[in-house]
Chain A
Amino acid sequence: MKKLWLIIQREYMSRVTKKAFILGTILTPLLIGGLIFLQVKLVGYKDDNFKRIAVLDESGILKKAPDNQKNIHFSLFTEGLDKAKKQVVEKQFNGVLVIPKIEDATSQRFTIKYYSDEKLGNDMSDDIESKIEDFIKDYKVSTLGLDTTKIKALKTRIEIDPDPIEGDEDASTVSGLVAMAIGGMMGFFMYLSVFIYGMMIFRSVMEEKTSRIVEVMISSVKPFQLMLGKIIGVGAVGFTQFVIWFILIGLIMTGISTMIGTDSAQIAASNPQMNATMQGVQEVQAGGKMELALTELQNQNWWLILPMFFIFFLLGYFMYASLFAAVGSAVGDDQGEAQSLTLPITIPVIVAIYIMMAAVRSPDSSLAVWSSIFPLFSPIVMPARLPFHPPAWQIALSLTFLVATVIGLVWIAGRIYRIGILMYGKKVTFKELGKWLFYKD
């Protein structure tokens, strides 16, 4: 036990104290934050070309000059068009806006003139149009004698509220979309960590073998201890990294959202990397249902989802990490061989991520249900289904199979590992790996 602890310690410390790790852990969130910031800034980028505009109001609907904006400054002009144009030439104004007399208050088309040699950008003309539109609306309401409250009452927003016939859960579209986002994020997270840390173990086992340290090591400790120590140590590294990322990204997100005054969900939604999983949030937004989504987020049963996610995460990590360790022990320094042996491990992970994407769309399809029970896929698919409240028996069945598989695979990996690390210069096939299982110590 003391030896296992020593191994875990070394595996952990040797990685955590590396410059690359420290930089990667701190810089990645900063980079992501920077990218998001840039993106939000660019998407929300408005014409920053400052314009002073003279407004010549022939209609008399303007009681005062339209409110100034950041990049447009309006001033009412009463001295006639010719003089205004002259002042534009003299560069006192960038342009003259002429609002003609309103002939017919019921007309739905209305043209206003803008005199200038400079082009007016799309954003800017949109802004000006909407400002004048508001004035004309007010004018129409008063001339036509309309009731403002009745007009408001004309607007209706329709929402479909799907209610399950059995069970009492409220499954509105918003909650569906929120669940989709949470589920997708968890599945994606699983997928990433299996790859990053699984490959880390794989490389480290290979390195131990090629640097010939391994025979020195196993004259002091059992190969199984060495393998287990490595898996736990690297897992702890991953955990540390994720916690730091989580905190830093949280801080950066809040920082950005206060800086540009949008909420973090919007920021996340504008990030194309997260598109697949954040689609839910985007759709929620498109419907203007942000508050609803936020309450949905709070309404999630986090006391079930988070611990469950953690358990699936841990089991999934152990399952794939031990597979990577076993395969890593079997290859020498031959890169091609390494690739052909890791492929069979990476395929189920990739298939699982595709199933996960389908599962968040239709979490109760038979594909989603059975893959969330099948142990090779369940660590990725089941967490994605958790926000959709799968029946308890499915979770229990999935966990039972997964635990049994993990125990089995760790044992198998240990059997292969103990032979593999001492095997040099031999081309390894899967048939060979199978034989190693039955080698005596």
Chain B
Amino acid sequence: MDILKIDKVVKTYDKHIAVNEVSFSMPEGVIFGLLGPNGAGKSSLIRMITTITRPDSGHIYFNGESLNSSHPEQIGYMPEERGLYKKMKVGDHLMYLAQLKGLSYTEAREEIRHWFVKLDITSWWNKKVEELSKGMQQKAQFISTVIHKPRLLILDEPFSGLDPVNAELLKNEIYELHKNGTSIIFSTHRMEQVEEICDKIVLINKGENVLYGAVKDIKQQFKENLFRIDFTEDQALLPDLRSLNIVEQTPQYVTLKITGNQESNVILRHLLDSGVPIRAFNEILPSLNEIFIRQVGESNIQQ
């Protein structure tokens, strides 16, 4: 069952088309990357998923049902533009947000205690938000996002503003939620994070869906059949490889483009038979970053 299905969704603001017939679906339990350059329409899409706004046309289905006002309680959303009431005590603040997500008073208190113990921040309950450092506020914000055990978690640039230690901590929490079956939408332009975390991605540019699928399939789809052979000793002279398409050659390694019906095994055997000492033989897959840039076009990236 797909936790989320976006079907030809369109959203226009004034005369600007923010989202133009975007469609994709997201299976339950995956970590899903929502990618795109600034202004591509990611936030507009997320706002529609969180029922903040409604699509002009098209449909959004949550767990097979048409999205309605009962669903926000099953969604946890951490926006990119996030904040807390500065003057409120952390404990009171989390109680407030948890109850707004439909938890009862006692449920909310128990859940917050549980998280405070887990993250070793029990002394925070009576601290005002403004007394916390930015990173600590982010932690509190994260708790507020997951306190009601959402089925779908939407994180928009969750690591921005976090130091490496806290980012790692947060990442581990995300993995744990993932392990427990939470479906997670992860929106960012940091491609290395996507590659590390996400199972599936959708890439949006100028309001349109340009790429959609599993990360490994996409990499396969964009591969250029490049292979790299590393040698254990410097090779001044190579055996006869002229029939091959050499992209780059140094004494330490050689990069080949294997085309047509040539097989990597045949080439490898040929080299081994010629007595070339081989340390590694790898297929070079494009990074998501490269794919992103190629798809979106350098002119589009404003950062």
A residues at B contact (CB < 8 Å) = 3, 6-7, 10, 14, 18, 208, 211-213, 215-221, 422, 424, 435, 439-441
Contact = CB atoms under 8 A, between A and B. Distances in A.
16 contacts: A14-B85, A14-B87, A18-B87, A211-B83, A212-B82, A212-B83, A213-B82, A213-B84, A215-B79, A216-B79, A219-B50, A219-B52, A219-B72, A220-B73, A220-B101, A435-B14
Interface string B87-111: 1100000001101110000000000
A216 B83 CA distance: 8
Contact of B72 (A211, A213, A220): A220
Contacts of A212: 79, 81-83
Contact of A211 (B56, B77, B85, B97): B85
A213 B85 contact: yes
B54 A10 contact: no
Interface of B: 13-14, 47, 50-54, 56, 72-73, 75, 77-79, 81-88, 96-97, 99-101, 141, 144
Contacts of B77: 216, 219
Nearest to B12: A440
Contact of A6 (B83, B85, B100): B100
Contacts of A3: 100
A215 B96 contact: no
A219 B69 CA distance: 10
B81 A424 contact: yes
B222 to A, nearest CB: 34
A218 B83 CA distance: 13
B18 to A, nearest CB: 12
A305 B71 CA distance: 48
A362 B193 CA distance: 75
A217 B84 CA distance: 9
B82 A6 contact: no
A7 B54 CA distance: 23
Nearest to A10: B96
Given A216-B84, A218-B52, A440-B56, 17 more contacts: A3-B100, A14-B85, A211-B85, A211-B86, A212-B82, A212-B83, A213-B82, A216-B79, A216-B141, A217-B100, A219-B50, A219-B77, A220-B100, A220-B101, A221-B100, A435-B14, A441-B54
Nearest to A215: B79
B51 to A, nearest CB: 8
A220 B79 CA distance: 12
A217 B87 CA distance: 16
Contacts of B50: 219
- Majority secondary structure, B binding face: loop
Contacts of B14: 435, 439
Contacts of A208: 85
B21 to A, nearest CB: 17
A217 B100 CA distance: 9
B72 A215 contact: no
A410 B13 CA distance: 23
Nearest to B130: A211
Contacts of B78: 216
Contact of A220 (B85, B97, B141): B97
B55 to A, nearest CB: 9
Contacts of B54: 440-441
B81 A215 contact: yes
A215 B52 contact: yes
| 5 nearest CB pairs, A to B | A212-B83, A220-B100, A219-B77, A215-B79, A211-B83
Nearest to A441: B54
Given A212-B81, A219-B52, A440-B56, A6 B96 contact: yes
A212 B157 CA distance: 15
A298 to B, nearest CB: 46
A139 B96 CA distance: 85
Contacts of A213: 82-85
Contacts of A422: 47, 52
Given A14-B87, A440-B56, A219 B75 contact: yes
A14 B86 CA distance: 11
Nearest to A204: B85
B9 to A, nearest CB: 13
Contacts of B96: 6, 10
Nearest to A5: B99
Contacts of A211: 83-86
Contacts of B141: 216
A300 B54 CA distance: 55
Contacts of A424: 81
Contacts of B79: 212, 215-216, 219
B122 to A, nearest CB: 23
Contacts of B81: 212, 215, 424
A216 B141 CA distance: 9
A439 B12 CA distance: 10
A439 B47 CA distance: 15
A215 B53 CA distance: 11
Contacts of B75: 219
Contacts of B47: 422
B142 to A, nearest CB: 12
Contacts of B101: 220
B81 to A, nearest CB: 5
Nearest to A208: B85
Contacts of B51: 219
A422 B82 CA distance: 12
A222 to B, nearest CB: 8
Nearest to B98: A220
A424 B50 CA distance: 19
B274 to A, nearest CB: 63
A419 to B, nearest CB: 9
Contacts of B72: 219-220
A25 B88 CA distance: 21
B144 A216 contact: yes
A192 to B, nearest CB: 25
Instruction: Point out which of A7, A18, A440 has the most chain B C-beta atoms below 10 A from its C-beta.
Output: A440
B184 to A, nearest CB: 16
A50 to B, nearest CB: 57
Contacts of A440: 54, 56
Contacts of A18: 87
A208 B84 CA distance: 9
Contacts of B82: 212-213, 215-216
A216 B99 CA distance: 13
B82 to A, nearest CB: 6
A258 B211 CA distance: 84
B77 to A, nearest CB: 4
Contacts of A441: 53-54
A216 B56 contact: no
A150 B87 CA distance: 77
